[in-house]
Amino acid sequence: MTHAWRVIFAAIILSLSPAAPSAAGPFEDAAAAFVKGDYVTAQRQFRALADQGNAVARYNLGTMYFGGKGVPQDYVEALKWFRLAAGQGHAGAENSLGAMYLAGQGVRQDSAEAVRWYRLAADQGYPVAQHNLGSIYLNGRYLPQDYVEAVKWFRRAADQGYAGAQLGLGALYEDGQGVPQDYVRAHMWYNLAAAHSPAADINLREAAGSFRDQLATKMTPAQVSEAQKLANQWASQH
């Protein structure tokens, strides 16, 4: 069994963080209320904006119904608001629809429909969806396994600083799947994943650091130094 199985690639992600407002006003007030934990106020204000056709408010309202924030958890209602936002081209909502179709939450499970929504969001440059699509290609459960495609989508998300994709890319370089085996590049991506992991995701940060340190035992000091140099260069350029 290869190294890549250890990467948390099977967990398809549905982000529940509200999208940030682009300008001051009612939207900013709603987002601020959400951040403060005043979900009742946030839900009321997002709903008013959503009823006016605001795509980001519709997406945020969907996340609140999905997570039961300020409202009873309701996957069907979440799906409704995600559909409305996705119909307006909102990439986060497209990704969320992909996750719900894959898990069968609020809708009959449909992996083909899930992949379709993930691809729409990924093609817009949404890193969570790019990671999810790469994970599906790596897993080979819902699409034919294709390491080259996995590398492509992980790289697009990794280049945006998405830690989960950086971890996956490191594993593929370590195993030589979809790319020539390269311990230096693998160490570099593990290092970046550890640095970019969200503070709340301790498991991801610890996994990245553990994989990096285990890999270092197979490398020469010169290789480790080169990997660290490449990681620093990447960080300075991004």
Provide mean pLDDT across the span 63-85.
96
CATH number at residue 16: 1.25.40.10
Band of the pLDDT at 17, cuts 50, 70, 90? low
H or E stretch covering 82 = helix 75-86
Query: Does pTM top 0.85 for this prediction?
Result: yes
Q: Are 81 and 65 in contact (CB under 8 A)?
A: yes
> How confident is the model at residue 5, as a pLDDT?
46
Q: What is the mean pLDDT of residues 82-94?
A: 97
Identity at 51, one-letter amino acid code: D
Tell which residue, 162, 156, 175, 163, has the closest CA to residue 208. 163
Mean confidence (pLDDT) of the chain: 91
Q: How many domains does the chain have?
A: 1
Cα separation of 165 and 153, whole Å? 8
**Which residue range forms the structural domain that includes residue 217?**
3-237
What is the rounded CA–CA span in Å between residue 16 and residue 65?
A: 10
pLDDT at 89 over 90: yes
**Per-residue confidence band for 200, with pLDDT thresholds at 50, 70 and 90:** confident
How far apart are alpha carbons 149 and 134 in whole angstroms? 7
| pLDDT at residue number 199 | 86
More confident residue, 195 or 23: 195
pLDDT for the residue numbered 14: 54
User: Given this model, what pLDDT does residue 9 score?
Assistant: 45
pLDDT tens digits for range 119-142: 999 999 999 999 999 999 999 989
Q: Which residue has the tokens 């559909």?
A: 83
Listed in sequence order, the residues at least 6 apart from 175 whose beta carbon sits closer than 8 Å to its beta carbon are 2, 3, 4, 181
Of all residues in the chain, the percent with pLDDT exceeding 70 is 90
User: CA geometry: angle at 149 spanning 146 and 152, to 5°?
Assistant: 150
